Structure 1
Amino acid sequence: LDLCFTTSTVPQLLINLHGLDKTISYGGCVAQLFIFLALGSTECLILVAMAFDRYAAVCNPLHYTTIMHPVFCRALTISCWIGGLVNSLIQTGLVMAMRLCGHQINHFFCEMPVFLKLACEDTEGTEAKMFVARTIALACPAVLTLGSYVHIVRAVLKIKSMSGRRKAFGTCGSHLVVVSLLYGSGIYTYLQPVRRYSESKGKFVALFYTIVTPMFNPLIYTLRNKDVKGALWKVLGRGTDPG
């Protein structure tokens, strides 16, 4: 998911940086917007599914294999992808219905707030519809994820042994870092009025969640693995990590 998410923006960015032609067709721009929104929305929903997985592992460890049955996991994953596609269809459709006055996008990819700034008409109604879609795809998953972690923290605090607490927090720590990075930047960009959107700040935040966060996600998720940590220490020239 992260690989596809990055691929939807970075190749066009590199073309614009390397060549003199810094244009993209309207159809290509809309396609980029649709793919980017679909993958971004899917990732937000998958993070909720992962939060539920952590909740089941920490709060109901004896029933974990029953709760997180492979059939249920597949259904949960498919639902996340369908939800992301539906959200993208709604928002991209609303953009295509608008009449645009400008042809110059002050951004390194086709993002929703920039499209709204190019509209010739009053976008208040469109923004309201988009706000509902964004709330369902972004704010609701964030609230559900935080709710899961409230229950997880309560369960962890009831564990008497320090080793048990460290193991429980280790299970959730990597996921919580990814959640904070993605939801924080996404909420800043998509849940503020377009009139308050700053193009300079918007480009910086977009660079963060389109390139930086997906790049660090593999490290964040895998550094708990002893083999990965050992390989990293070897690359750094320090031999095998004694821990």
Structure 2
Amino acid sequence: MKSVMRNHSTVTMFIIMGLTNDPHLEILVFTFLFITYTFSVIGNLTIISLILVDSHLKTAMYFFLQNFSFLEISLTTACVPTYLYIISSGNKTISIKACFSQVFFIILFGATEFFLLAVMSYDRYVAICKPLHYMSIMNSRVCRNLILSCWISGLLIILPAFCLSLNLEFCDSTNDHIACDASPILKNSCSDTWFIEQLAIFCAVLTLIMTLVCVVSSYIYIIKTVLRLPSSQQRKKAFSTCSSHMIVVSISYGSCIFMYINPSAKEEVSVNKAVSLLTVSVAPLLNPFIYTLRNKQVKQAFHDNLKRLAFLSKEY
């Protein structure tokens, strides 16, 4: 346990150490992050826009995908622009309030994403296992309530530990990460953080277990149903409707699990920073391509709207 040293806390700013101190490597990191961030925002905004304007994409599946794309934009925006500014300006300091705000939004968007992935797996379960009742079960009211539940669950799961951490006093300003992260913040505190750490771990594990059980259960029923289908064409079609979601689930849970299973304690910080960088930059970039390339309806909507825009531009 840490001893309480409230009267000696003079830290008002944190220093974000980032991925590297090498100026040449920082240029490469900046270029990489800038490109991935730009294209991830463009890609996810394209998905959101297509679902808004195309009448063929007005089902529950695409409503959830639209919200998932919004979360991806929000997550990468909560982290990447700040780090780009740090690299470009050379100013690695960030106020404690700004740091806590960043932590809050990163964890909120991340937790909400996991709940949404669970909801999306349930949607696929209803679509494949109960196709005749799909429209009645996944109606617009139910979909809106499920999205609201994801946000409320994400908020409730992070609030206890976050609110307790607001009263911490700090004796060290070093944040060895690419952004403000809960673990370095707690390590910098001269207050007793044992209870907050245990609470944070409990909430994180609870979120992962709850959502993963929902995802796995849904796909167990989906696989059982698909294997009972008489023709191979039907089985192929059923699996293709789930393939995009399964890939995104694998990336999301895989990266999260990988951060907690490191080769050694010495490599923990560098591995976590690298994986976090990929999670907030590459994953949001890949998801639009995964859903676009593996979904005929989204591809068709994209081509139709490109033709419509080309036609309108010719008229003008």
Query: TM-score, structure 2 length as denominator?
Result: 0.68
| SS state at 1:203 partner | helix
Bigger shift: residues 113-122 or 26-35: 113-122
Distance in 1, matches of 2:261 and 2:117, equals 19
How many residues are matched? 230
Q: Give the 5 Å matches for 1:86-165.
A: 86-165=156-235
Structure 2: which amino acid aligns with 1:112? A
Seen in structure 2, the aligned counterparts of structure 1 residues 196 and 158 have a Cα distance that, compared at 3 Å, is farther
Query: TM-score, structure 1 length as denominator?
Result: 0.87
Distance in 2, matches of 1:191 and 1:31, equals 28
Partner of 1:6: 76
Seen in structure 2, the aligned counterparts of structure 1 residues 191 and 43 have a Cα distance that, compared at 3 Å, is farther
Structure 2: which amino acid aligns with 1:54? R
Per-residue deviation, residues 13-44 of structure 1 (Å, max 9, x unmatched) = 10111112111111100000001111111111
Distance in 1, matches of 2:250 and 2:105, equals 23
Deviation at 1:163? 0.9
Aligned to 1:81, which of 145, 151, 163? 151
- Asked if 1:63 corresponds to 2:116, the answer is no
Aligned to 2:296, which of 199, 215, 225? 225
Contact 2:259–2:271 under 8 Å retained in 1: no
Bigger shift: residues 34-43 or 179-188: 179-188
Name the larger-Rg structure. 2
Contact 2:226–2:235 under 8 Å retained in 1: yes
Distance in 2, matches of 1:62 and 1:54, equals 13
Per-residue deviation, residues 119-178 of structure 1 (Å, max 9, x unmatched) = 334533222211221123222101211111111111111112111111111111100111
Identity of matched residues, %: 37
Structure 2: which amino acid aligns with 1:221? Y
Structure 2: which amino acid aligns with 1:228? K
Partner of 1:239: none
Partner of 1:214: 284
Instruction: Name the structure, 1 or 2, with higher relative contact order (CA <8 Å, separation 6+).
Output: 2
Instruction: Note the aligned Cα RMSD (angstroms).
Output: 2.3
Bigger shift: residues 113-122 or 127-136: 113-122
| SS state at 1:198 partner | helix
Deviation at 1:230? 10
Bigger shift: residues 55-64 or 218-227: 218-227
Per-residue deviation, residues 42-95 of structure 1 (Å, max 9, x unmatched) = 111011110000000111111111111111111001010111122232232233
Seen in structure 2, the aligned counterparts of structure 1 residues 198 and 95 have a Cα distance that, compared at 3 Å, is farther
Deviation at 1:101? 2.3
Unaligned runs of 5+ in 2: 1-70, 304-316
Aligned to 1:21, which of 84, 88, 91? 91
Deviation at 1:112? 1.6
Unaligned runs of 5+ in 1: 233-243
Partner of 2:119: 49
